Amino acid sequence: MLESNGIQLHLAEAGDGPLVLLLHGWPELWYSWRHQVAALAAAGFHALAPDIRGYGRSDKPSAVDAYSMKTLMADIRGLLDALGEKTAVLVGHDWGAAMAWNFAALHPDRCRAVVGMSVPHLGRAPMPPTKLFDRMFADRWFYVRYFQELGMAESELDADIAKTMRIILANPSVLDSTSDVVRSRTQGDGFLTGIQVPDRLPEWLSEEDLAYYVEQYAASGFGRTIHRYRNMDRDWAELPELATAKIEQPALFVIGEADPGRALAPVDAMRTFVPNLQETVVPQAGHWIQQERPEAVNAALLRFLQNLGR
C-alpha cells in the first residue's frame, strides 16, 4: 500500500531497474498484469501494477468527480513521488491506456515513454463525449450511455457478480457494439441483456483467475468503477489542452487482431498526436490482450522497452 494524492493505493510489484507502471482498465485489477509483472522483473525492470482508485484493495471515494481523468493523473504523479522516481514508462490497457496516453501528453517530464493497449489516443473530441455518442448512436443502445445514469448499471452488474465477471471476461460479444445481440437492444435493456453465460472459460482464464476477480468485486461492487465513465464530459471540459498536445516520447500501440474495438481504433489518425508511434497487432487476441496472449504481448513490450536504453 502506498499513499498517493490523499488516498491509499494497493500495488503489486517486482524487480529492480527502470520503473514500468502498469495501469489496468475496466473491469479489471492489478491482476490483469500478472503475466507482465514477472516477465518485466526477470528482464531487469521494476514493474509496478496498482489497483486503480475504485478497484480492488485501493481506496474507493464515493463522489463521482473523484474519478476524473485529472484526478487519476494526479494519482500517477503521487505514485512517482512516493517512490522517489522522476519518470516512468507508462503501460496502460483499456481505461488504463487512456490514462497513460493523457499523462504522456500532459506530463512529458514525468513519462519517458508510453504503451497503450486496445484503446488509441485521438486527442480531444470535437464536442462533449456524451453529445458525440448521442449523435453517433441516435436511438441505438450504447453501453457508455447506459452507464451514465447513477445506480442503474451497478445494480444490474452487482446482482450476481460471479455471473457478471464470467460473461464480461469470457463472452466477447458483450463488448462488441456491432454484434447482433447488442444491436438488437432497445431503451431499458441492460449491459448483460441477451448475453449468454459461457459454458466454459477460454484457455487463458482459469477458474482460479476468475475467482480472484469475483472475490475482489464482491467486496465493494461495480459502482465506483463505473464512475470513470460518468466523468467523460468533465474530462472534456477540464482538459482542453488535449486538443493540441502531442506525445513526442517513444510510443507503442498494441491491439488484438480480434478486438471488437479495432474498428473504432483508427491508428493512422493517432499519428497526428503521436508522431513517434509504433504499432503491434497481436494475432488471435481479443480485448483482454495481455491476459489472452501474454507471451506475444511480453515480447512486444520488452522489445520496445529494451530499445529505449537505460
Q: Is 287 a catalytic residue?
A: yes
Catalytic residue among 46, 121, 227, 287: 287
Question: CB–CB of 15/45 below 8 Å?
Answer: yes
Q: Is 176 a catalytic residue?
A: no
Beta bridge partners of 282: 256
- Judge whether residue 91 has pLDDT over 70: yes
pLDDT at position 310, please? 64
| Cell numbers standing for residue 161 | 457478480
pLDDT tens, residue by residue, 202-211: 999 999 999 9
Compute CA distances 177 → 78, 106, 137, 233, 262, whole Å: 36, 31, 10, 21, 11
| Cell numbers standing for residue 175 | 463488448
Place of cell 482508485: 53
| Cell numbers standing for residue 75 | 494519482
pLDDT tens, residue by residue, 251-278: 999 999 999 888 776 788 899 999 999 9
Compute CA 305 distance to the chain's CA centroid, rounded to the nearest angstrom: 20
Q: Specify the higher pLDDT residue, 180 or 247.
A: 247
| Arithmetic mean of pLDDT over the chain | 95
d(CA 192, CA 147): 12
d(CA 266, CA 301): 21
pLDDT at position 289, please? 97
Catalytic residue among 59, 75, 94, 176: 94
d(CA 241, CA 223): 29
* Mean pLDDT (whole number) for 144-155: 95
Query: Percent of the chain, pLDDT > 70?
Result: 99
pLDDT at position 218, please? 96
Domains and CATH numbers, the chain: 2-308 (3.40.50.1820)
Place of cell 501528453: 105
Query: 223: pLDDT confidence band, cut at 50, 70 and 90?
Result: very high
Question: CB–CB of 178/18 below 8 Å?
Answer: no
pLDDT tens, residue by residue, 156-198: 999 999 999 999 999 988 888 888 888 889 888 999 999 989 9
Using alpha carbons only, how large is the chain's radius of gyration in Å?
18
pLDDT tens, residue by residue, 30-40: 999 999 999 99
